[in-house]
Amino acid sequence: MLASNWTLFVARAVIAFLLAVAIVATDRLHLDGFIGMLGLYAVTDGVLAGIAWLRERHFTQFGLEGALSIATGLTMLVWSDTAAELLVVVAARAIVLGAVQGLYSRRLHGGRNADLLLIGAGLSMLVGVGFLVVTKFGYDALDLHVCIAGYLAIFGGELLTYGLKLHGWQRRQQQEAWQQRAQDSRYEGTRHSQSIRRSA
């Protein structure tokens, strides 16, 4: 069930938040270390998304997100040698991820989950375009750290919100299942009592 994956969404959100804090706290980190840290994060995020897809294979969004994140991480580790290249890779990930979320939200045919995905898609694509604008007009090291940390915070917030919504959905389903079992148990008890009275 989709709701059972809520822990993976929360785990991805926590990792994104922790990395955002680490980036802000280490604003003088050397570019190579910065790229390596982001690359490992993207691969880890992709693996977690892939696990969610293996649990729910009909939700192809998870598989696409996982493949995209892993590809982004490997690209950072192998190809991104400059800050400009790093921003372009992160921008491409944000735009493509937003497009995937936007397309998937249409499959949900409306509802709160679809609206949440659509908002996240818009934010992701907006951030990606913003990164490309920053790359075009110039930036310094502080701008780079703030941009990446801000994106991770937004992405983590989106994941956390969706994960908590799934957790609430799972709890409601469990409560409904418990109430149904209790109702069935009372019904069976009533039938058993009636059969005893008839036999007596």
Share the mean pLDDT of the chain: 78
Q: Are 33 and 147 in contact (CB under 8 A)?
A: no
pLDDT of residue 90: 86
Length of the chain: 200
In order of 41, 102, 129, the CA distances from 54 in angstroms are 20, 21, 31
Q: Who has greater pLDDT, 153 or 194?
A: 153
* Whether 49 contacts 59, CB under 8 Å: no
pLDDT score for 112: 57
Per-residue pLDDT tens for 177-191?
Answer: 676 776 666 656 566
Query: According to the model, what pLDDT value does residue 17 have?
Result: 93
Q: At 174, is the pLDDT very low, low, confident or very high (cuts 50, 70, 90)? A: low
Determine the Cα–Cα distance for residues 132 and 45; give it in Å rounded to an integer: 23
Torsion angle of C-alpha atoms 131, 134, 138, 143, degrees rounded to 10:
-80
**Model confidence at 108: pLDDT above 60:** no
Structure tokens that stand for 118 in this block: 């659509």
With a CB cutoff of 8 Å and minimum separation 6, the contacts of 145 are: 23, 24, 27, 34
CA distance 200 to 196: 6
Per-residue pLDDT band at 194 (split at 50, 70, 90) = low
Q: Which residue has the higher pLDDT, 166 or 4?
A: 166
**Structure confidence at residue 144 (pLDDT):** 76
